[in-house]
């Protein structure tokens, strides 16, 4: 079974010769300590190349960077709309530390009206690069068409998660107007892509903005399921499949992923990072969602290779009892600068446990 065929069977919930094994590729930029790991994973794991199906903010903007401190620079992005400018400012780490958004684009209904004054982006885009990328990947894996944040995640990113939660109580209709607007943009682009044979693998993220503990099942259904289901239905009607990436506490909203039609879900995190065990996730997902995960990324850096090997074997025993529906994967991309050699033995142990599995 080729790596491409194995992933296809994962996404279509079919029987497998072994679980899939995959690693997300958001490595620290320009870090040669990860070169050996990249080479090992490229040789021994199922690959997923990412093709941008819809830019995050395809609108006219200007970016200005200025000094802030020895460790930080301030980056200001100005989004030009017909109704006035919107501004976001963030601190950018100068020593490879994560950044921090100080001010989000939107804070209230007036800002939302400015954003809605922007003309919708053209659904047409260049697609030849998708087919070239798919040719390059070949039998080693698949190409994901990345549709970016789902409508609610996109809107939550514009407001910031805290302000979005407050708006749920004070001005819910404005949030629905924005979510509907973004959903229509995604649907228009998706129709264009599907008509030209782009696919069949699509991915969405952003649902984690509207999960517990900040939001309950009501909000998850009202903002995630309501606006994601038409998008996923359109992909399914064209014979495609949808992958969703959502961290957090998902046990009480897992039914929502089933109801919106998700085909592959990453990750499924046990306490303390989440609230669902592999056994619980499998009981809910069986035959309907392929689970992608879940070796917690911190364990890849902190545990011994033997411990990772045991955790991977236990994960397979728990989730792969029906020989379907599991892609072994860490919960996130490698993230610690300069630590590529430190985590390489643990990655090797995880991958070898999958490749050596005898069912």
pLDDT tens per residue across span 33-66: 999 999 999 999 999 999 999 988 888 889 999 9
Quote the pLDDT of residue 99: 87
d(CA 202, CA 239): 11
Tokens of 304: 């011994």
Fold of 3-58+121-355: TIM Barrel (3.20.20)
Q: What are residue 146's DSSP bridge partners?
A: 52, 203
Residues 132-186: tens digit of each pLDDT: 999 999 999 999 999 999 999 999 999 999 999 999 999 999 999 999 999 999 9
Quote the pLDDT of residue 349: 98
For the chain, the domains span 3-58+121-355, 60-105
Quote the pLDDT of residue 359: 81
d(CA 328, CA 350): 8
CB 331 within 8 A of CB 296: yes
CB count within 10 Å of CB 287 equals 9
* CA distances, 330 to each of 31, 44, 111 (Å): 19, 15, 38
Q: Regarding beta strands 72-81 and 61-67, do their DSSP bridges make them parallel or antiparallel, or are they unpaired? A: antiparallel
Quote the pLDDT of residue 263: 98
Quote the pLDDT of residue 353: 98
CB count within 10 Å of CB 358 equals 4
Q: What is the reported pTM? A: 0.96
* Nearest in space to 275 (alpha carbons), one of 244, 311, 246, 251: 251
Question: Between vectors from CA 38 to CA 35 and to CA 42, what angle results, nearest 5°?
Answer: 145
Point out the residues of the chain with pLDDT beneath 70.
none
């Amino acid at each position: 079974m080729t790596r491409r065929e194995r992933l296809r069977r994962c996404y279509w919930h079919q029987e497998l010769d072994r679980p899939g094994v995959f690693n997300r590729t958001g490595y620290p930029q320009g870090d040669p300590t990860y070169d050996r790991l990249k080479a090992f994973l490229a040789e021994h794991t199922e690959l997923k190349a990412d093709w941008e199906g819809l830019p995050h903010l395809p609108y006219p903007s200007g970016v200005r960077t200025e000094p802030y401190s020895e460790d930080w620079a301030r980056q200001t992005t100005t989004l030009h709309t017909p109704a006035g400018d919107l501004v976001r400012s963030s601190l950018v780490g100068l020593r490879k530390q994560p950044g921090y958004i100080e001010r989000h684009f939107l804070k209230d209904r007036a800002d939302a009206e400015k954003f809605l004054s922007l003309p919708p982006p053209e659904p047409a885009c260049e697609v030849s690069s998708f087919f070239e990328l798919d040719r390059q990947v070949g039998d080693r894996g698949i190409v994901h068409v990345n549709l970016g944040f789902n409508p609610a995640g996109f809107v939550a990113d514009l407001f910031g998660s805290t302000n979005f939660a407050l708006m749920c109580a004070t001005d819910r209709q404005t949030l629905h107007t924005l979510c509907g607007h973004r959903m229509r943009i995604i649907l228009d682009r998706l129709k264009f892509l599907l008509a030209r044979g782009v696919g069949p693998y699509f991915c969405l993220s952003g649902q984690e903005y509207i999960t517990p503990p900040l939001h309950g099942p009501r909000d998850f259904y009202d903002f995630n399921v309501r606006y994601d289901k038409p998008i996923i239905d359109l992909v399914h009607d064209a014979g495609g499949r949808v992958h969703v990436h959502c961290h957090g506490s998902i046990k009480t909203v897992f039914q929502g992923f089933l109801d919106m039609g998700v085909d592959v879900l990453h990750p499924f995190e046990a306490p303390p990072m989440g609230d669902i065990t592999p056994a619980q996730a499998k009981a809910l997902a069986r035959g309907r969602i392929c689970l992608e995960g879940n070796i917690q990324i911190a364990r890849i850096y902190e545990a011994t290779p033997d411990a990772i090997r045991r955790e991977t074997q236990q994960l397979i025993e728990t989730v792969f009892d029906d020989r379907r529906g599991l892609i072994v994967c860490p919960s996130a991309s490698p993230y610690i600068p300069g630590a590529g050699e430190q985590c390489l033995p643990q990655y090797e142990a995880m991958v070898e446990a999958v490749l050596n599995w005898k069912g």
